[in-house]
Amino acid sequence: MTRNDSLGSVHLEGFDMIQTGQWTLKNDGHSVVLHVGSGMSVSGGGLPDVYHTIQVHFHWGGPATNGSEHTVERRRYPMEVQYGHALDVVYADNVHFGHVSQKLSSVAYKGQTTKIKPFPLMSLLPKHNMSQYYRYYGSLTTPPCSQVVVWTLYEVPIYISWSQLAQFTSQIFSTEEDAEQVTPLQNNFRHIHPTFSRIISASKDAKLLTGTASRPFRLSVSVQLLQIILLGGFISGL
């Protein structure tokens, strides 16, 4: 990992506002996806362009296993949100995360969709620590795993409660409601892969990790996925 002093704060346009219209929450059989429409974008922080946010999706483990796709100091976290945050767990509910978790029962089975009232996405970001992150160029974590992603991993924790985590690990299914046997949707994360000599850059305000597992670091991670899609558009998965 190397320090890059040119990596400053990421600019989030529209994230502190309540967008108009309705958002959609959907169980696609692989994840729970929040489609947020238009009105928000990500730029700055060394990014090569302006990226427009269109969806947020989640990765998690099981009732007793962690499920983030990234690890920090060899630690895997309970969840990762791509727009996104990897989430850590405490006993108190995250009120802002409740906008999503309270709607999960409506999308318990594959193919189910529900409307969700927009809320400021900045409430699920480390808004006072946006200049502390790590950056690397990598791939999608779902097939075809194309090398088209700019990853930004934030240092500052985002917390949810055990009960909110349990709604994902125990109450979401990868099968349709009328299936002969319903299957819980768990461990929907890609396992760790080699870095293939990629450089991981620490922003100017980030703590520079050493990679030693013995250090008493306790960091949680949020992830910003800037994923190129067709027609010049972008998915911003923070």
pLDDT at 142: 83
* CATH superfamily of this structure's domain 2-202: Alpha carbonic anhydrase (3.10.200.10)
Q: What is the dihedral of CA 198, 122, 163, 36, to 10 degrees?
A: -90
Whole-prediction pTM: 0.82
CA distance 149 to 225: 6
pLDDT at 210: 55
Listed residue (55, 226, 38, 17) closest to 138, CA to CA: 226
Residues recorded for the chain: 238
Each domain of the chain, given as residue ranges in start order, spans: 2-202
Residue 143 exposed, middle or buried by CB count within 10 Å (0-12, 13-18, 19+)? exposed
pLDDT at 118: 95
pLDDT at 88: 66
Neighbouring residues of 58: CB distance < 8 A, sequence distance ≥ 6: 31, 32, 79, 80, 81, 82, 84, 168
For residues 34 and 23, is the Cβ–Cβ distance under 8 A? yes
CA distance 97 to 119: 10
- Helix (H) / strand (E) element for 98: namely helix 98-101
Per-block average pLDDT, block size 10, for the chain (238 residues)?
91 93 96 92 89 90 91 86 65 89 97 96 86 90 86 85 94 97 96 86 84 38 40 30
pLDDT at 3: 94
CA dihedral sign, ordered 36, 37, 38, 41:
positive
